[in-house]
Chain A
Amino acid sequence: MTQEELAKKVGVSRQTIIAIEKGRYTPSVYLALKISKVLNKKVEEIFELEGL
């Protein structure tokens, strides 16, 4: 799945997906859950806490 496709499916811009991937933006719980649903994975498989 491309960044553009993912962005469309979760209803955000491609720039937002890029920012999340690069760690420049932390998504809300709502967006994180939407991404995990679209990618068919658990949230903790996609996102992880840093420094813990």
Chain B
Amino acid sequence: MNLINTMFFILVVVFSLLGLAVSPFLLLGTIFIAAVFLFLRRGGVLKDQDEMQEFLDYKSGYYSFYFVIFVATIFLVIKLLKNPANVPPDLAVIILLPLIFKFAVQSFEYKNYKRAGFIISLLPGIFWFIFVFLEYISQGFSTGFFIEILPVLLIIAFSVLGLKFPRFSGTVLLLISFFFLFILAKSKLPAMTKIGVSSFLPLPLILSGFFYIFSKKEEVKNE
């Protein structure tokens, strides 16, 4: 890290701390400026790093990513042990959102849109299926189970169908995700819970939908 970068990093930390103490808008502004700087650098506009500095930047970012998730997970587990019925949505967002986003970016960089679309939509589908299954296993499989399981099965079905008909499935998954977003927006849940639920289901489905729609014909044929 050269002198200017070090100074910039120190300023970001100082202003972020000041923001925590003084005003959340100062914190937001600082992080925004840091993000703009990062995008200019990654977009090739700002060429102030050689390849080793870039490599170290990625490497440190990678370790920081998992460190933050690890710390958030410890806090989440402590809170869940105290109150198992209450999942803290802010911590769930901190853990879930970066993981989904990382996977999406990685798939995007790898340019295997179809596979990305498949995994991103299938995982929440399976997770939700297990969740509903476990909920009803104790109380018996009533009509409610089949009503609740239907959208899950739809998601899983279109996720799998996407391997054969990516554009069609992608469009349907997008529509399903917009439907969920609409329901969420209308609900009276706290804002953080809405973001938490969005990062669990509609967001992966939106990403998956776009990945499927933009997957190339050749890519579909070759696999």
Q: Do A and B bind each other?
A: yes
A contact set with B: CB distance below 8 Å: 11-13, 15-16, 19-20, 25, 27-28, 31
What are some 21 contacts across the A-B interface (CB < 8 A)? A11-B50, A12-B50, A12-B51, A12-B52, A13-B2, A13-B50, A13-B52, A13-B53, A15-B52, A16-B50, A16-B51, A16-B52, A16-B53, A19-B52, A20-B52, A25-B52, A25-B55, A27-B51, A27-B52, A28-B51, A31-B51
Question: B2, B52, B53, B55: which has the most chain A beta carbons within 10 Å?
Answer: B52
B1-45 contacts to A, CB under 8 A, are: 2
Question: How many B residues are at the interface, by size bracket?
Answer: under 10
Q: DSSP majority for the A interface? A: loop
Residue of A nearest to B49 (CB): A13
Q: State in angstroms the CA–CA spacing of A19 and B2 once bound together.
A: 15
B78 to chain A, nearest CB (A): 39
Known: A13-B53, A16-B51. 11 other contacts (CB 8 A): A11-B50, A12-B51, A13-B2, A13-B52, A15-B52, A16-B50, A16-B52, A16-B53, A19-B52, A25-B52, A27-B51
